[in-house]
Structure 1
Amino acid sequence: MTRKDRQNSAVLIAGPTASGKSALALAYARRLGGTVVNADSMQVYRGIEILSAQPSDADLAAVPHRLYGHVDPATDYSVGAWMRDVEPLLADLREAGRVPIVVGGTGLYFRALLGGIDAMPAVPAAIRETYRARALAEGPAALHEELRRLDPAAAARIRPSDPQRIVRALELVTATGRPIGEMQQGAGRPLIDTAAAIKIVLRPPRALLRERIARRFHEMMAAGALEEAARFRRGELVAGATAGKAIGLPELLDHLAGGLSLPEAVERAITRSRQYAKRQDTWFRHQLDASWQAREMPELSSMPD
């Protein structure tokens, strides 16, 4: 592959959790001289490296990886923040002649990357902090009433029990004076040449994926997932609303607090992971167009040169 080819190409690998995305991304990065770029909303957080299945030390040493574990877990990261992080990174990779291997399970990141989401404006810290403090003090129902006054269309789409989306909509309408619907027209600017990109979505058989999810969580436990959760329990790290939903973290914290036995916590985490994988697979099936190559398995041996 020439330098010009590298500047104009990318490999995008999407799929549900435990589907083999990371192994395929690593293989492409080795083959093409690429850099693996994270497109998973949980793998951005430090402190949950094991529970979010971030690359191993061996993988990190094998090829460059970017946008993994770079965000404080107390921060509520968003697709807009990821776009602001990934845009200059992609420019740097093109300049260096390295192929971005974008891999993850967060469908909205891929949609934004391909121009399907408008760029969201940055929200001033004072507005963000005000609404997040109010959410804790007043509860989501009260803020949903305020959203209904300021942005009725957004309030109709967002459940009164969804504080994260309520707060985000209030932040945006307050910062811009515009309803969020006006900023979500799907007319964003693509950050890659979609015609030149290799786009792959992994869809393993359901039974195989369920087994892989269970096996991987047990491997996480053996690797130290419980101690990872214990750091949050001891207050060494603080999980915000987003990082706090990392699969396995609430369950293991419940165990550490005496609410669940360890086997119960593990089983609940595995069940939640399987439910999440099903939602991911459904999203990819309905949202990705025919330009994406659907594969049951990574098929490392049949990769193109």
Structure 2
Amino acid sequence: MTDQLVVGAGYIGRALAAALVERGDSVTLATRSGTVVPGARALVVDASDVDALAAAAEGAATIFLVTGPSQYHRWPELWPPMFRAAVEAARRSGARLVLMGNLYGYGEGSPMPMTETTPQHPTEPKGRVRTDGWELALSAAKRGEIQVVEVRASDYFGPGAGKTSQLGSAFFGPLIAGKTARVFGSPDAAHSWCYLPDIVATLLAAADYRGPWGRAWHVPAAEPLSRTELAARVNALTGKRGSLARLSSALLRVLGVFVPFIRAANDSDYQFTAPFVVDAAETERLLGVAATPWDESLPAVVASYRDLAVAGPPATGARR
């Protein structure tokens, strides 16, 4: 039985912990709140606490850093201590380090599609802090202190994803009800979307890879679709006539002056105003992973939101 440390219990962290348990690994799930996933050991740890994280990693084969600050505008403040703690925990324990990353580091103006070897040139604060974290870990790897890889995904979607996902409850919920979903950016821009089970599969394959580390992997995505195209497919599945409306860019800019979270989101609006497409051919070839086709993923996601609508909100004090 292999010991694994999963740091973070968002949608990805919980799904990853469950997948590791299912395959027979011994899993410790480290979170601030002691989140419980059946079969995993819950441990209360601050991901920015070097000593606590290093102690949690003792004996682990892999540290999966799949957490992240939910407050966009505080990324430059909150991410660096977590990166430093994860790198030091890997150095002290000898565990391999798998970082869950995104595409922000490629920056506005990157050639499309973005591949695993596309140079990083971040153009806004969130991309810069992610790139700096990767460079910190990579420098430690080049010194021979740790083994590290980063798994980079485009925007995720999956059963039960909440309002913070561009393809979450704020998108699917209104459409399934035959109402209007309001979207950030252009609804007609082609975009790569990563299915949650495919993200988990790529994390597992990256951790098990026996070739050279110190590199990035891309989560495979099905063919790029705009949200207009996705809404049409949802309508075809539900028999409804849901529609999309674009949030006013001018209003968002004004709100961004007063609301830091909106201002931080506006900094990366380029991802939704023009095609934003990822290529994962090298990852697919070397790791043996593949994207779930839309005709499999979309019906499953639509069904999950229908089930949530029927069940209603959780009782007071219940946890999702």
- Relative to the length of structure 2, the TM-score reads 0.30
Higher helix proportion? 1
Tell me: higher relative CO, structure 1 or 2? Use CA pairs within 8 A at least 6 residues apart: 1
Bigger strand share: 2
